[in-house]
Amino acid sequence: MKKQSQTPQGISSDSYYFEKDKTGSILVLGVGNYLMGDESIGVRLIEALSEGSIPDYLDILDGGTGGFLLLDRFQAYGTVIFVDATMDGKPAGTVSLLRPKFASDFPKALSVHDVGLKDMIEAVYLLEHQPDLYLITVSIDHINPMSVEVSQPVQEAIPVAMDQILTLAQSLYKEAPVVGDHL
């Protein structure tokens, strides 16, 4: 895979997302709070992806704790892969892939920004354009407020989740119709 030669890949500048042609691009959006221990796994995965080699068709974004400020990203991309922590009762570090169609399809116990994220997803379905959504979760068993430390099981899930993200993105990119293709 070829590393993008553009400026930093984990950009939060609005102009980057509005000026770049996103035809055929996939957005990986990690959400989480860096100051809440294991709950930060979504943004830590974006950080890890930014340090490696990612394909040109993949854009990554540290979405922080989510919110309505991210809505414009959903209109700009045809495919969005969410990455977040969840307290779903599975062993810490378990990586899961879900295909949510509605906010109610998200795990009942997404991490602390759960309400805002679900509200944002409901708002996405009110927009003119709804992207194809995927959710990759990493199970956590506790939140450690005011801590940047990540537990060993969650830390060990990072390469597993990265592989799953890159494999999913590659599969989705290969399946995407070529612009201009007709029946």
In a domain, 23, yes or no: no
**Site of tokens 């537990």:** 151
Looking at the structure of the chain, the number of domains it has is 1
In a domain, 9, yes or no: no
In a domain, 48, yes or no: yes
pLDDT at 75: 81
pLDDT at 58: 95
| Domain ranges, residue 41 | 31-174
- Buried-exposed string 43-77: b where 16+ CB fall within 10 A, e elsewhere: bbbbbbbeeeebeebbbbbbbbbbeeebeebbebb
Q: How far apart are the first and last CA of the chain?
A: 31
Cβ atoms of 131 and 74 closer than 8 Å: yes
In a domain, 14, yes or no: no
In a domain, 88, yes or no: yes
**Rounded CA gap, 74 and 125, in Å?**
10
What backbone phi and psi angles, to 5 degrees, belong to 147? -135, 135
pLDDT in tens, the chain (183 residues): 544 444 334 444 555 555 667 878 999 999 888 899 999 999 999 999 999 999 999 999 998 887 777 888 888 888 999 899 998 899 999 999 998 776 677 666 555 555 456 677 777 777 777 888 899 999 999 988 999 999 999 999 999 999 999 999 999 998 876 544 434
pLDDT at 5: 42
CATH number at residue 92: 3.40.50.1450
**Rounded CA gap, 105 and 99, in Å?**
8
